[in-house]
Structure 1
Amino acid sequence: MGTVRVGVAVCDADGILPTPLKTLARDPKRNSDIKVLVREVLERGAVEVYVGLPRTLAGGETASAALARGVAELLADRLADAGAGCEVRLVDERFSTVEAHRTLHAAGLDSREHRRVVDQVAAVGILQHALDLLRGRGEAGTAVMARSPRNGEIRGDDSDMRG
């Protein structure tokens, strides 16, 4: 989740091959990007959504991480409201954009052309990292609990959030 754009990637049902899907304009006023993400989750029957959590090299968090956490919480709320039964998880995304630029450069894409696809490539990298963690550890990232927008109550626990 960037302040300007949101890269979206998906993978097959077996969790093997992540592929880029689209880049959305971040819309903090109307949250139209969140609405598109909820629709994609519902249409695809997704069971987990991974949101990149930008950390510093030392593992700390900055304003960008706070933004990612806030958007992940909003997404979890909207998914719960839609009855998606889909868990939202935050996963470390250090170097995802740097690696995306390297990949695009290695593919021969002019750096001026990176902007339109770099977020999708970064999203693929984040999803690949999450899938690798799943295979190695059995889970990836940290779960984001859906809360009621009105009173802050938690809507469910880990056992009923998985689809």
Structure 2
Amino acid sequence: MRKVGLDYGDKTIGVAVSDEMGWTAQGVEVIRRKSKKDDISRLREIVKEYEVTEVVLGLPKNMDGSIGDRGQLSIQFGELLKEKLALPVHLWDERLTTVSAERTLLEANMSRKKRKQVIDKMAAVFILQSYLDAKK
């Protein structure tokens, strides 16, 4: 019973998938957004390939816990995913996940160019892993 973690952004969607036991999250890819139809199509392929049963979608909240414009877009995308993938979608607080991912990549001495290519995938790993840890 694998779960997929998503870091939904304006230009990309970072994707991570759990192991079958639901213990660890691994980065899979960064989807370059083209259209909602193409995005959903690629996510459907990932769901099928990894036999995913649940979606964990990062919900960007403001530091005070309120939900702004970016959060509203994620909520709308979550509703679309529920409809199109016919899977449960869990919205998960993603505050500071990109900052944590950036810090981890900096500590690994990764170049700026390479960081830019993987930051969203790494943020998806942080989102999914924090969800998995909380559900243990």
**Same fold by TM (over 0.5)?**
yes
Structure 1 stretches lacking a partner, 5+ long: 81-85, 136-163
SS of the residue corresponding to residue 32 of structure 1 reads helix
Structure with more of its chain in strand, by fraction: 2
Name the structure 2 match of 1:44: 50
Whole-Å separation in 2 of the counterparts to 1:31 and 1:106: 37
Under a length normalisation based on structure 1, what TM-score does the superposition of the two structures give?
0.76
Name the structure 2 match of 1:124: 125
User: Residue 113 of structure 1: CA displacement?
Assistant: 2.2
CA displacement, residues 10-64 of structure 1 (integer Å, 9 cap, x when unaligned): 011101121100000123x443111111221123221111000000110011111
Matches within 5 A, 1:53-68: 53-68=59-74
Under a length normalisation based on structure 2, what TM-score does the superposition of the two structures give?
0.90
Ranges of 4+ aligned residues in structure 1 off by more than 6 Å: none
1 or 2 for the larger relative contact order (CA 8 Å, sep ≥6)? 2
Name the structure 1 match of 2:4: none
Give the aligned CA root-mean-square deviation in angstroms: 1.1
Structure with more of its chain in helix, by fraction: 2
Matched, 1:24 2:25: no
SS of the residue corresponding to residue 110 of structure 2 reads coil
Q: Whose Rg is larger?
A: 1
Aligned length: 129
Q: Which amino acid aligns with 1:89?
A: H
Whole-Å separation in 1 of the counterparts to 2:44 and 2:78: 12
Structure 2 stretches lacking a partner, 5+ long: 1-7
Whole-Å separation in 2 of the counterparts to 1:46 and 1:116: 24
